[in-house]
Each structure stands twice: as structure tokens, then as C-alpha cells.
Chain A
Amino acid sequence: MKLRFTNHWLRSQIDKDADIECDAGIPLRDSTSITHFTHPEAASVATAPGLKMAVLSVLVHQLRRRDGLSVTQLAERLRVDADELANVESDPNYVPRPRTMHQLADYMKVSTQAVQSLTAEAIARNNNIAQAALKFAASSKDLSQLSNAERRGLNDFVKFLASYEEE
């Protein structure tokens, strides 16, 4: 594409422009509606389970079930806001506060870094985490008590998180 503008022109215009919003048309909130503008492989990478799955949500939910705690009870043990914990569990895209991640890490006796590695962005970057998280999330069924297989899955995943720093 032959350009009719120069960087000098852009700099002068950007400097003169008021500091205001410039968004137009359909608001873009996620990638699902534009994946078909990419190569099919690109779309499959972006929508892979590793990016979408609610690993932290599932983990918190599983911990509560393992220990027989309500959201409020676990929040009290962690000394975090119950609303915050409810958001972590219900919204896969929720970004917990650093303190919440720290308290969760303490509760599971793993490093804070390991819990941080379960955010969607970190999973997208780390294939090892993605694979372990995918296996863990896929093994979870939403029953009132953990089955033996789920308990094993949870324990294995916590062990994996405990060894996260060594990788």
C-alpha cells in the first residue's frame, strides 16, 4: 500500500489532537467474532481450551468441595473479600487481586507465582501449564463431593503447582 501520509505529519497531528476517545462502530470485547478474518490455524490457537478454560475458577471450586467450605467460609480462612472469591470462581476472565492470589497460594502451600501462572494470559504463554491445567480442568465434574479421581486430579495439579518454580 502506497502511503499518502508521513510520520512527520502523524506526529504533528497526534500532538495537536485532543486527548479523547476515538472508538467507532462495533465495540470489540473479545476475539470470537473476528477469528474468521485469520488463517484457520490462528483461530484455533486463539480459541484453544488453554486460553478459555477457567482453571483458577475450577481450582477454587475444587478446593472448596475438597474441604467442604462455602465461598464465605473459604474467604474467611483466606482473609479475603467473599465477593472477590465469588468472582474468581464464577468469572473465568476475572483477574484476582495480588493479595487474593497470595492468600490462595498460602492456603495450597504453593508459591504465589504458581497461582499467578493460572491466569488466562500466563496459561497462553506457558505450554507446560496449559497442558497440566487442561488435564485438570477436563477431569473436573461439578458434583457436590470430590470423587476419588477428582481428588487425585486436584492433588496432582497442586503438586504440579508446587513444583512450578523449579521449571
Chain B
Amino acid sequence: MGSLEIVRIVDLVREASHTLTYRFPATFGGEAGQFVMVWIPGHDELPMALSYLGDVKGITVQAMGDATRAFASFKVGDRIGVRGPYGHAFRVRGTSCLFVGGGTGAASLIAAIEAYAAAGKEVTTVLAAKTKSELIFEKRAADSGRVEVSTDDGSKGFKGFATPLAEKLLDEGDFDQIVTCGPEKMMFGIVQSAMRRGIEVQASLERYMKCAVGICDACAFDDDLLCVQGPILEGARLAASRDFGHWRRDRSGVRVPL
């Protein structure tokens, strides 16, 4: 288990209307797709993907709940607790990959996108958001390869969800793999599409977490624990899942519809 580190926020970047990136130094390592538990003192501790790796790591957070809204008022110099990294990293194979990021899901993908491009491989990224002002990491993705945007309201790029846009790209191009992170209903569609086409796919999932080290059972997903076996799962595993796209467990452990 990664020990808790109390760190200072050294940089704050507004990525979108309600989304901030917090940069902080931490002594532990971390690979693209892994997550950390972030303690927002006085409010909550939440699992968050690393949107920047290296000595000065980053997390990218949309203010949507009580704790993340409180977090939005934090300033450079303020302190938070972090522990990790936890879970598996993405294993991006082949020479041409389609990345599909919905909402803040792009935060989990962006380091993998950059690493894939840095290895000389071909990156195509779908970035999806409700509206133009909520798009994140468009520039970082564009620096790594081709970017296609979709917005639910059509304020930028393709009007509609990410899945039909991804379908269009899959019809036109030749990809070795699809890697996705975003709302689970979106990922469900992407995984179905990939399986139908016989393309390898990985998705990064999210569940309520407490310990993050495989002992508390809070993040039960099918018969596994997402903190240990995930957060990234392969297509075949997801295609056989009872829970994927349908069920989660609430804080008490009751199985409820997603």
C-alpha cells in the first residue's frame, strides 16, 4: 500500500469551465492509467487518474460533487494528501490506436496518448464533452496526433455522442486497438463496437472506493475488486461482465443500477 504523502499544490490550470488540473510533487512513481487516492482535507478522499506523470504529477478534476466543488476553491500552496499509485496501467499495443475520452475520462488517457505518440506510433483521439467549454486536453492530444471532437450540443465538432463518431473513424481507418475512458454507458457502446469488429479494446472504469488496496470490498465489480484487478479491464473481460454498463454498488454495498 502506498504511504500517505502530504503535498503542496504547485500549479493549478483551468482546463475547462468546471475542470481544474492540480499539479503536485510526490515521491512515488506512476504509469499512464494508474490512479491515486486524493485526500481533500476536511471533505473526502477520492480515486483520481494521473493526468501528468513524472516528479510533478497531476490530477484533473471536474467540480461536480460537494468535495470536488470545495476542492475547486483550493489555491497554489494549499496542501492535499495523496497515496498510490494503484491499479494497472494501460497496455497499449500495436502501431495504431484509437483513444476515446469522454468528459474528464480524457484525464486518464492523456498520459497514455503522449507515451504512445512518443514511441513513434499513430494516435487518433476522440474527445467528447457535453459542450465546447467542457472539452479538456485538446491541445495535448493534438500534439500527439489526430484529434476528432464531438459535443452533445454540437457546439464544436461532431454533434452527438462519442460512440457514433468512433464508429465512423473505425469504418474509415485501420486500428490495432481502442482505449477508452469516460461515462460507462459510452464505454459500453465502444466496447461492443470493438468486440463486433474484432479489435482489441481496454476501458478504464470507476467505482466508489475506500481502501484502494483490495481489502474493503467497496469497489466490487462482478467477482473482482476494481482497485486491484482494474481500473483498466480488457474487452473480453468486459464482454463477459454482468456489471459493466449496468450495475454498481452504492456506499453500503447494495447493487444498484448504474
B partners with A: no
Q: B-contacting residues of A (Cβ < 8 Å)? A: none
